[in-house]
Structure 1
């Protein structure tokens, strides 16, 4: 694992280019910074400044080398690199509330955008008019869409929202793609069809992730729970409520293993073998030794007397010193993730390796 600091401002979201030599991230404002790895340092090479509101989502399409960004200004831009400069194209997302998250589809021919307008915009490029259009999924959504993830088949989309629901929708657009085959979640997939709707997730659904096969879906909620719906087992849902602070982001890292992180400032590993088997495995951070851990009782009370505080009480025993906001896959070996990254409110980015 390795830790990199990008200043004091919180990092709200990030995305990697294809060969993982560049990273796009936002320091909790209306700009996107692109850094390139040069030796052991990250050097800023580009700055994307078209948005007028705080950036809420970034995704980088590896094959087409396009970046999509969304923000609280209700806009989304698709950025293309031309002559060494990133050029923005405005997307007609047609929303009247802030955009909250954005994600390219696996085939990169469309992307999904969640918002506070209680809908999901599925955006695709129309060659005839040379612009990005959107179709809306409104059915059943009663509050802000907080998280999105694509099924490997490029058609199904998972969405977590602030109405305490987790859903799977069909995004089939017949103008740009072939008719999909059946999946574990269902066979009929007209645009906007709801294939899963779990009604009581116990809190806002901050993160969702499909398994490598697409047959399972994991999500994390604000009530400190993690849940898995198994499409191969009649969509049965298994929930594990933890005693930790709420998790913010989640990734399927192998067919049976899950990594999640959030307000506890470190990633945790969970395993799922089938319905009823969701279990916590281990904490993936290595605790740092602090002076406080070796402090004598006498020194402890002396510090309380002098400063009305404990020595080093602000130093956490984790690499991240504040909440983790997002996890992102870096490299994979087949179906298994071998490394992933995390960004947090402490302005740091950490690269984690999985055995």
Structure 2
């Protein structure tokens, strides 16, 4: 059975710590809320207010226990827990537009920040200056709204609103292996997605890159080929890997969707929330008269007879998704965090997630 937790009115960013007993989220404002799970419910542990505009990205490093945040205020902070209190350190992003997303590298010695300034800031700690500094990757034509690190700690995938998915070298001299031959910002690959690229995500092995697009498609990119699936439902916004052959994605339909690799071809298996799919769907307006009546009612009375109860556990878009130990966690614009056990997914869709 899925577990539902109403933590706030709206979630704009979400991340879990290493053992998934704590989470950090932003309730669609400038605050960073940290919660601790006591075995039954999530309880507030701290509220940090260092940003002054909406926090758009959060990532929690599992090894160093550092939290990094980015915001529409064009700043990023790295938080470290010192004697039970979270100490912030400002990062020099050097950008003139909002920061949109942030991810730690696998070795946690740097992180990438996507921005509305058509660039990515690769941030690392300068021992000599004792601060976090950044270098830029500028080969984008529009906002970068998603980033994902390859397991090798060097390659970085980006998703942009210029309809492109790209792979760059994010090598930093003095931080990474000096034997690396690719320079920072070198474009390794570029693919046309046909729409905004909402989310990019490397598989655990780094052999495949998944990306979701605003035209209700999802792509799986390998070295020699790219497989696209066009779904009939609303666009997917976020996703996560379960092994190398299962991918869970969520978005505007408020229902996590499973994709699976079968016989070297990706297939859409179905929705995880099976109870919602069995409900009667709202009938579309099929005449000018009915449409006029509907909108007239909304203007005159502020109501519409066509409004029906939302049957999915999420009442609004899913914009956060994490793969945890034995379960999937989704966060939404409705302020809910829902945990979907693998056992529920297996039973609902009759699949194996191993």
TM-score (norm 1): 0.87
Among residues 266, 281, 286, which one is paired with 2:274 in the alignment? 286
Q: Are the counterparts in 1 of residues 72 and 97 from structure 2 also a CA contact under 8 Å? A: yes
- Residue of structure 2 equivalent to 1:62: 62
Mapped partners of 2:171, 2:279: distance in 1: 57
Unaligned runs of 5+ in 1: 182-187, 294-303, 332-337
Aligned residue for 1:64, secondary structure, equals coil
Among residues 182, 204, 216, which one is paired with 1:189 in the alignment? 182
Among residues 312, 328, 336, which one is paired with 1:340 in the alignment? 328
**Match runs of 1:45-194 below 5 Å:** 45-139=45-139, 141-179=140-178, 189-194=182-187
Structure 1 runs (4+) greater than 6 angstroms displaced: 289-293
The one-character-per-residue Cα deviations of 1:245-273 (angstroms, maximum 9, x if unpaired) are 01100112121111110000010011235
Q: Are the counterparts in 1 of residues 260 and 266 from structure 2 also a CA contact under 8 Å? A: yes
Mapped partners of 1:150, 1:3: distance in 2: 30
Change over 3 Å in CA distance of 1:158–1:290 after alignment to 2? closer
Mapped partners of 1:271, 1:292: distance in 2: 27
- Residue of structure 2 equivalent to 1:224: 216
Change over 3 Å in CA distance of 1:283–1:171 after alignment to 2? same
Q: Are the counterparts in 2 of residues 112 and 121 from structure 1 also a CA contact under 8 Å? A: yes
- Residue of structure 2 equivalent to 1:11: 11
Q: Are the counterparts in 2 of residues 18 and 62 from structure 1 also a CA contact under 8 Å? A: yes
In angstroms, what is the RMSD of aligned CA positions? 2.2
Q: Are the counterparts in 1 of residues 241 and 323 from structure 2 also a CA contact under 8 Å? A: no
Report the alpha carbon displacement of residue 241 of structure 1 after superposing the two structures with TM: 0.7
Among residues 242, 250, 265, which one is paired with 1:261 in the alignment? 250
1:309 aligns with 2:323: no
Report the alpha carbon displacement of residue 288 of structure 1 after superposing the two structures with TM: 4.9
Change over 3 Å in CA distance of 1:202–1:292 after alignment to 2? closer
Report the alpha carbon displacement of residue 286 of structure 1 after superposing the two structures with TM: 2.9
Mapped partners of 2:271, 2:95: distance in 1: 40
Aligned residue for 2:275, secondary structure, equals coil
Aligned residue for 1:287, secondary structure, equals helix
Q: Are the counterparts in 2 of residues 340 and 352 from structure 1 also a CA contact under 8 Å? A: yes
- Residue of structure 2 equivalent to 1:37: 37
Unaligned runs of 5+ in 2: 282-293, 298-302, 344-354
